[in-house]
């Protein structure tokens, strides 16, 4: 009976493969038929997720524990919407350019919602919908992008180890050590594993 217990994260995080349509980036862009991706499959790509208490994030013991374990010493709040973000149109365009970072990207959705798109091992786009209470960590070196959904609003807490580094490296930046390390840890590693499984 345990299998019917739903992972509480699924209420605030969902993922699926995207279609190739050029329509408004804020639409869900589901494939036909829909092709969902589990949170376990995301974890295999290095993308980690939690469900936390968005209304009490200042005192949430689980968030405190994650920050301590992962060494997140810096935090700020970013509200993305036309009214609150200076140069909104320009910023949204730049967030949606495919890029990578040399550090983890940590986002906790305190209100609203948005899409983080990540590449799978075969370079296909997976759209990750993060809603209020969802926290996502994208590993250093993964190609990704961000956009709002049709609600046009997200309030996100951003965490860093030490000083915040905002630098996005737009694709292609395959020569960066962070990218090479990501490939080694999450792409080649799995290819090797599949080969062993096939041989077994």
User: Is 105 annotated among the ligand-binding residues?
Assistant: yes
User: Is 101 annotated among the ligand-binding residues?
Assistant: yes
**H or E segment to which residue 104 belongs:** none
∠ CA 169-173-174 to the nearest 5 degrees? 145
User: Is 30 annotated among the ligand-binding residues?
Assistant: no
Q: How does DSSP assign 88-136, residue by residue? A: HHHHHHHHTS-EE-SS-EEEEEEEEEEEEEEE-TTS-EEEEEEETTEEE
Give the other-Cβ count within 10 Å of 161's Cβ. Answer: 15
**Whole-angstrom distance, CA of residue 23 vs CA of residue 35:** 19
User: How far apart are the two ends of the chain, measured CA to CA in Å?
Assistant: 31
User: Is 29 annotated among the ligand-binding residues?
Assistant: no
Q: Which residues contribute to the annotated binding site for Fe(2+)?
A: 99, 101, 105, 144
- Binding site for Ni(2+): which residues? 99, 101, 105, 144
């Amino acid at each position: 009976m345990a299998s019917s217990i739903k992972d509480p994260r699924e209420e605030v995080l969902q993922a699926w493969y995207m279609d190739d349509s050029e329509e408004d980036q804020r639409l869900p862009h589901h494939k036909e038929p829909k092709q969902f991706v589990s949170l376990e499959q995301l974890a295999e790509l290095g993308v980690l997720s939690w469900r936390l208490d968005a209304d009490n994030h200042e005192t949430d013991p689980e968030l405190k524990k994650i920050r301590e374990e992962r060494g997140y010493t810096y935090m700020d709040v970013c509200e993305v919407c036309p009214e609150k973000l200076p140069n909104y149109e320009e910023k949204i365009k730049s967030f949606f350019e495919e890029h990578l970072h040399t550090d983890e990207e940590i986002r906790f959705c305190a209100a609203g919602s948005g899409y983080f798109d990540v590449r799978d091992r075969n370079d296909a786009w997976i759209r990750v919908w993060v809603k209020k209470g969802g926290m996502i960590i994208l590993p250093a070196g993964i190609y990704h992008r961000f956009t709002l959904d049709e609600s046009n609003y997200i309030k996100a807490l951003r965490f860093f180890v030490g000083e915040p580094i905002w630098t996005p490296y737009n694709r292609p930046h395959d020569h960066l050590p962070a990218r090479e390390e990501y490939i080694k840890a999450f792409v080649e590693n799995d290819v090797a594993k599949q080969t062993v499984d096939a041989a077994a």
